[in-house]
Amino acid sequence: MINFKEKVIELIEKEVDSLSHDEISSLIEIPPSYDMGDYAFPVFRLSKAFRKAPNLIAEELATKFANNENFEKIVNNGPYVNFFINKSKLVETVIDGVISEGGNYGSSKIGEGKTVIVEFSSPNIAKPFHIGHIRTTVIGNALYKIYKYLGFNTIAINHLGDYGTQFGMLISAYKKWGDREVIEADPINELLKLYVRFNAEAEEKVELRDEARYWFKELENGNKEAYELWEWIREISLQEFDKVYKMLNIEFDSFAGESFYSDKMPRVIDELNEKGLMKESDGAYLVDLEEYGMPPALIQKRDGSTLYTTRDIAAAFYRKENYDFYKNIYVVGSQQNLHFKQWFKVIELMGHDWAKDCIHIPFGMVSLEDGTLSTRKGRVVSLEDVLNKAVETTLTIMEERNPDLENKEEVAKQVGIGAVVFQELFNQRIKDYVFSWDRTLSFDGETGPYVQYTHARANSLLERGNFNLEDKVNYDLLLSEDEINVVRMVYDFPNIVLDAMEKNEPFFITRQVVEIAKGFNKFYNSSQIIVDDEETKKARLMLTYIVKNTIKIGLGLLGIEAPNKM
């Protein structure tokens, strides 16, 4: 495809010696309205070199740039040079690009030879996979897909919370009140009951906390009874989590959780000691970070047991040595900001420059309409229940709207689950939000079902119009305002995917597919697509095809399916 921004840069480079290619690129703006052009170049920085007022410089450059085949016109608007893309060229390059790239439209090889690790989801075993986990799970999955689409060797890691004092609590609770048969019949709920009961009783009996710490230390020391109980709890938890991952169509390359690094922590502690970074404090060991404006990073408790920080450092070392990552991404809630800053700094102080390649991708908190989620108090909304309810609600709607639809159950699953995922990815990830059933399951407005329905509508038009990808199209038949706006949005899609990767923000793609769907529906409502004139029909069906193709790719990058019929 023609890169029109690069064509703008080439023109400016020929006339401006005082700015580099990258400097010109950084100065180019996208005007707020297409009435002002597709690109605008401010000339303020050229005043010294040209020794003229900015508006005169802009006028001179616009005159020199005139009569370029890639642009309908190039004019000055005060101190700006405004570039209007040749619409026929735009239509031609977009259609040819989508046809040639097909299902890979917007992909690239920029990541070739570079490994990116995306750690996401990472629930605690023996606890419910609740609505609070959906953000890390779907944001992480989208980032994994985006990086992979751009050619990176991408590795999805589910860093399970399968270690720590909580397992001392569970082991102790199980030995006091547990029933294996009852637990295996309903693993997560029964284990949660034990966990909640233990925490409630520990409020009154403080000695229970010591007992939990004892059993975790025994687990770390390889106590046979503790290890077998822990292994059983981990296995039955994973079986439950897998149900949700299958519903979301998510797969991982590794389930190496905290426990995997239990034998890899001594080398971290040894290196910290060797480099004089460890300090003793009341029997515990820490790294002092006061001069960096942070509290100390606790590495080892008084009883010799380890903490999240120790395990995260050990995991980062393992990943660097085994994957030699270009980026090591952690999709974890914003409440963990300090934790990541601390241990990233510890690795940096250890003298490892790859600490800068460890990246925390934070996101906002989820709360219920009547308060925050709390596992300790048993206040959770199961993610599996949310997804099932979304599917059931969607099926009811479909039976009313299209009772003869084939495979209604499968489509309801695609649309219902897609609605939940789409809503999670529609806003910037850093924003907090309140989970609401009504909002989550709404099928009006800028939603997943709206975009999916647009895809299905486009597919229906292609089938009814006997669309043939080999048909030659007269590009000049697609120059109306509504048509060009759709083409522009499809043209922007590859850059949107790049932005989503560079800023680690999937919502850029979510918003773009919504805009493409809105633009197409406006075109659909203003122009009949299947018309008697064969040339017009072919051109409009081709526009329909590039919309369908781009929406499907965009939804796929978000982890959402695109049904052909709804």
Pairing of strands 297-300, 327-331: unpaired
Residue 24 lies in a domain: yes
* pLDDT of amino acid 437: 66
**Mean pLDDT value across residues 129-146:** 94
Query: Given pLDDT bands bounded at 50, 70 and 90, which one contains residue 458?
Result: very high
- The domain of 51 spans 4-85
Residue 296, φ and ψ in degrees, nearest 5: -65, 150
Residue 471 lies in a domain: yes
Checking if the pLDDT of 378 tops 70, the result is: no
Checking if the pLDDT of 371 tops 70, the result is: no
Q: How far apart are CA 319 and CA 237, in angstroms?
A: 25
Count up the domains in the chain and report the number: 2
Burial track 175-203 (b if 16+ CB lie within 10 A, e otherwise): eeebeeeebeeebbebbbbbbbebbeebe
Query: Given pLDDT bands bounded at 50, 70 and 90, which one contains residue 231?
Result: very high
Of 85, 117, 133, the position where a domain reaches its end is 85
Pairing of strands 278-281, 284-287: antiparallel
**404-416, pLDDT tens digit by residue?**
999 999 999 999 9
**Mean pLDDT value across residues 153-166:** 92
**26-78, pLDDT tens digit by residue?**
999 999 999 999 999 999 999 988 999 999 999 999 999 998 999 999 999 99
**189-198, pLDDT tens digit by residue?**
899 899 999 9
| C-alpha neighbours within 13 Å on the C-beta side of residue 215 | 24
* pLDDT of amino acid 15: 93
Checking if the pLDDT of 375 tops 60, the result is: no
127 counts as catalytic = yes
Residue 192 lies in a domain: no
Checking if the pLDDT of 369 tops 80, the result is: no
* pLDDT of amino acid 368: 65
7, 73, 114, 127: the active-site residue: 127
Q: How far apart are CA 566 and CA 564, in angstroms?
A: 7
* Crossing angle between the packed helical segments 224-247 and 187-204, to the nearest 10 degrees: 130
Checking if the pLDDT of 382 tops 90, the result is: no
Checking if the pLDDT of 379 tops 70, the result is: no
Q: How far apart are CA 326 and CA 151, in angstroms?
A: 13
Provide the CATH number for the domain around residue 480.
1.10.730.10
Residue 110 lies in a domain: no
What would the DSSP string read from start to end of 414-454? Answer: HHHHHHHHHHHTSS-TT--EEE-HHHHT--SSSSHHHHHHH
* pLDDT of amino acid 90: 97
59 neighbors 77 (Cβ within 8 angstroms):
no
Of 70, 85, 100, the position where a domain reaches its end is 85
Q: Nearest-5° angle of CA 530, CA 524, CA 463? A: 45
User: Considering just the CA atoms, what is the radius of gyration of the chain in Å?
Assistant: 28
Query: Given pLDDT bands bounded at 50, 70 and 90, which one contains residue 245?
Result: very high
130 counts as catalytic = yes
Checking if the pLDDT of 533 tops 90, the result is: yes
5, 7, 87, 130: the active-site residue: 130
The token pair at 342 is: 């601390």
Query: Alpha-carbon dihedral of residues 215, 219, 223, 225, nearest 10 degrees?
Result: 70
Residue ranges with strand state E in 67-123 = 71-77, 80-85, 115-119
* Crossing angle between the packed helical segments 187-204 and 207-220, to the nearest 10 degrees: 130
* pLDDT of amino acid 370: 59
Residue 422, φ and ψ in degrees, nearest 5: -60, -45
Q: Which residues pair with 300 in a beta bridge?
A: 285, 306
14, 73, 89, 133: the active-site residue: 133
Q: How far apart are CA 468 and CA 542, in angstroms?
A: 9
Average model confidence (pLDDT) across the chain: 93
Helix (H, G, I), strand (E, B) or coil at 123: coil
DSSP state of 17: S
Provide the CATH number for the domain around residue 11.
3.30.1360.70
Of 85, 118, 139, the position where a domain reaches its end is 85
Checking if the pLDDT of 432 tops 90, the result is: no
Checking if the pLDDT of 142 tops 60, the result is: yes
Q: How many CB atoms lie within 10 A of CB 431?
A: 11
The single-letter code of the amino acid at 290 is: E
* pLDDT of amino acid 509: 98
Residue 527 lies in a domain: yes
What would the DSSP string read from start to end of 315-376? Answer: HHHHHHHHH--SEEEEE--GGGHHHHHHHHHHHHHTT-GGGGGEEEE----EEETTEE-BTT
Which pTM was predicted?
A: 0.92
Strand order in the sheet with 39-42: 39-42, 80-85, 71-77
Helix (H, G, I), strand (E, B) or coil at 84: strand
Residue 103 lies in a domain: no
